[in-house]
Amino acid sequence: MNTLDVNMCCSSFDLPRGYNQALYDKVSNMITLSGNYVRDNQEKICLSIVSRSNNNVNKMYSVMLNTVDKEINHIEKHCDLKCSCTKGCSACCSQAIFVPTIEGKHIVEAIYKLPVSVQNQIREKTQKVILEATKKNFPTYIDENSDENKLDLEYLSYDLSCPLLGNDGCCLIYESRPTACQRFRNYGNPLDCKGAIAPYSYAFDEYAGGIEMPMEYMIATLQHIRIEPQFAWLPWVISNNLKE
């Protein structure tokens, strides 16, 4: 998932029609503050996650999710911003989601807690999504050299909804949803997410590199799980790990 480009050169004279300069400035300021905060407090935040989980490796992942969510909520409040996303709004749920090893494991475990009938629905939807995307040679894995921006825009053009969406437009594993989904926030019109990256949205990627990846490596080490160097496409993870 990608973000508002704070390096984009815009002024009140060259903004497109309907552009909200005040909102743009607020989001830009938040991006700068959030990046600086994570950079300066990375170690402190990770240690707090370990402490709050009482050194219980089985609790660390959920504590990490809760911590990142609270940190983002706090900086939004500080910057006088309110996420416009609401329950059942799934316009952004057709973006390409790639997950690391530990996250994929956590997601599959959450799916297994659902009723068997719902698991079967997820399998069916997943296979349909994979069939359509592989027709277009969409990659099932990416690495640090992949152009994720380009891939995301390409995937959006497919108009494929996430297989974890329920009929009501809500995520079936909301509390355990992918971290990229948890962090993605839109501060403009929610409908702007449909088929595009909304202009006033932000994915808080500094938490991915600064907090989530170090914690996932720690969890993998403690649980003796081999970390794959690549990130796997979410439907591919579900298909390969959700057994009947």
Amino acid at 145: N
pTM: 0.87
* Sign of the four-CA dihedral 129, 158, 163, 3: positive
Question: Partners of 99 in the beta sheet?
Answer: 232
Exposure letters 146-177 (e unless 16+ CB within 10 A, then b): eeeeebbbebbebebebbbbeeeeebbbeebb
pLDDT digits (tens), the chain, 244 positions: 444 443 333 333 344 456 788 999 999 999 999 999 999 999 999 999 999 999 888 899 999 999 999 999 999 999 999 999 888 888 889 999 999 999 999 999 999 999 999 999 999 999 999 999 999 999 999 998 999 889 999 999 999 999 999 989 899 999 999 999 999 999 998 888 888 888 899 999 999 999 999 999 999 999 999 888 889 999 999 999 998 7
